Amino acid sequence: MDDQIGIVDTRDFLQEMCAAAGVAGTEDSVGDIVTRCFRPLIDDVLRDAMGNVIMRIRGSAEDPPAVMVAAHMDEIGLIVTKVEERGFLRFAPVGGVDPRNLLAAEVQVMGRECLPGVIGVKPPHLISAEERKRAIEMKDMYIDVGLDGEAARELVQVGDMIALRRQTQDLAGDRMAGKAMDDRAGVATLYEAAQKLDRLRCAADVYLVATVQEEVGLRGAMISTYEIMPDVGIAADVTVASSPGIPPTVDVQVGEGPVLAQGANIHPHLYGRLLHICKEERIPHQMEIEPGHSGTDAWGMQVTKSGVPTAVVSIPLRYMHTTVEMLSESDIKNSGALLAHFAASVDREFLEGFYEDSW
């Protein structure tokens, strides 16, 4: 291992990542932060053709198993569809953007220059009684960057990406709120795990992967899994936490520990080992049911090539896919501890029984 000089506080690391613009397909600036901050903790790093950051901590075994833990670093955002005559920009969503969250939002247009902008709509003084009954649609919104048509067209083209802007806020206790916590909080969990693995004896090669384009189809997870072909894979993501308006069937609480998923995307041996570690290491934890598609990188990992046994460890998150996503720092730290102890527990003996004999 390299010297520990350069290790930053996980909270600071998360805030730096969240401040960066990294809409799906344009994650390079976030990848630069990840690569720089992880370097003192890893042995090897590869940035592949898609932009995934694949980092390896070498295991001590002569024939080490391969454990992959993935968290996506892309965020939802927008894309320019038209530059109007007077310089206003029309746009479409990239990923699961809720139009309700866009009114009066601040944005960053990634044109020939990085341009700050705001999303505007018709003022309430001019809205008819009939219009008041309807939700404002994205097609009726526009971005104002403060330029006239000619100047706007010199700097902005159709196809330029647009990131939402919001400064991360420290709330009471250890709570934080901001944009892109989904899933840069997962990448911060990998960072916590890497620090703890530096103090644990690990037989397996551990691949910590910051993936791209999860929000538009799990693409980075599939490509990086094909590159690594791990023996087991874990997705470190976020999950919906309880808050006003959330159905009572969602019983996940912020600050009460990582969430272990159960369902078709989850291998029972991995779930059992994760649960055992939580109990053995006294890590607070919660459970949720994912009957089919988990909606995480674990799905892309599971169905790559000949298949990979997968599991999901999630951080409880309120207000998902907004610019005020809220979580607890303790959940990140506990999730990192769980992932580190899991990776350290994987050896060839544990993997026996996962597969039938070769034919």
Please count the other Cβ atoms lying within 10 Å of the Cβ belonging to residue 74: 29
Tell me the HSE value of 15 on the side-chain side, using a 13 A CA sphere.
13
Q: Sign of the CA dihedral 118, 124, 129, 134? A: positive
The whole-angstrom separation of Cα 36 and Cα 187 is 13
Residue 226's identity, in one-letter code, is Y
Estimate to the nearest angstrom the gap between the alpha carbon of 169 and the chain centroid: 18
Of 272, 312, 318, 322, nearest to 288 by C-alpha is 312
Alpha-carbon distance values, 210 to 33, 69, 184, 276, 289 (Å): 11, 9, 9, 26, 25
Catalytic site residue from 27, 75, 192, 214: 214
Apex 75 CA angle, 70 and 78, nearest 5: 150
Strands 44-47, 53-57: parallel, antiparallel or unpaired by DSSP?
antiparallel
Which residue in this structure is represented by tokens 């894309």?
79
Phi, psi of 286 (to 5 degrees): -135, 170
The whole-angstrom separation of Cα 75 and Cα 89 is 20
DSSP string for 14-79: HHHHHHS--BTT--HHHHHHHHHHHGGG-SEEEE-TT--EEEEE--SSSS--EEEEEEE--B-EEE
Query: In 241-348, where do the E strands start and end?
Result: 259-263, 286-290, 310-317, 325-328
| 82: its two tokens | 């038209």
Is 214 in the active site? Answer: yes
Helix, strand, or coil here: 269? helix
Residue 133's identity, in one-letter code, is K
Active-site residue set: 214
